[in-house]
Amino acid sequence: MIWNLINTGFQRGSFNMDFDEKEAINLSRSEGNPILRFYGWKPYAISIGYNQRMEDFDIDKINAAGIDIVRRPTGGRAILHADEVTYSVIMKIENETPKSIYKFINEGLLHGLRYLSVDAELSDEGENFPALYRQSNSIPCFSSTAKSEIKCRNKKLVGSAQRRYGNVILQHGSILLGPYHKKIVDFLSPDLSEEKEMLKKEIELKTIDLKEITGRHISFDEAVDALTQGFADRHGIFFRHAEFVENI
């Protein structure tokens, strides 16, 4: 099985979301290999789900902090992208279901995490997958867990979302390297002041990052290498390194 491997490094939020969507649309219109991409965010960014309300956030405060805000092409809830590795997988559907692809992708990530000495597991229970993406009553993504998501010590380590483009699935998600994602609550709208304290506690109780697990900071490059190897070994994938030329 041959896949394309792309590492676009650290980019603005708009670039990252446009890139994922364009590649998904392109693959839906032509023949091509599945894609595994890794990327980061510069500056940090808040991404919100396709159907989520922008009004839930304090845009002035976000701008003052030098943080981007961008809408994802996928559903789900808001994420503050900071100290993390973000992945995306774009692949055609044959006989699979979105749920089976979700599990397939997370099995590859899980295998890679083991090369980082992370004893994680796939959640065997969780909220209803489609319904979870339609809800707007819980704003941060990492405050809930769906079936087959990656957890460690019963806390969420990887948050992901999907969208279908005809016969193609786009799935992307965040592997937390450090705890900065928890600061998303600081950028919620003042109208949600009553919910902030509850959401802070939820995120603290329900999320974990690689630094907390391993006791050291794992770099972006180290994580990417481990996750790539995990995919290759778990699913028998040969990766073709696709060249990425950054526009100047």
Residue 141 is among the residues annotated as catalytic for this protein: yes
Q: Which of 52, 45, 82, 50 is nearest to 192 (CA)?
A: 52
Given the residues 6, 91, 141, 185, the one annotated as active site: 141
Distance between CA 244 and CA 54 in Å, rounded? 32
**The two structure tokens encoding residue 107:** 């099995």
Q: Give CA angle at 9 (43, 218), nearest 5°.
A: 85
Residue found by looking up tokens 């526009």 in the block: 247
**Preceding omega of 179 cis (within 30 degrees of 0):** no
Distances (CA, A) of 73 to 100, 178, 212: 20, 25, 30
Distance between CA 25 and CA 9 in Å, rounded? 22
10 Å Cβ neighbour count for 31?
Answer: 6
Residues annotated as part of the active site = 141
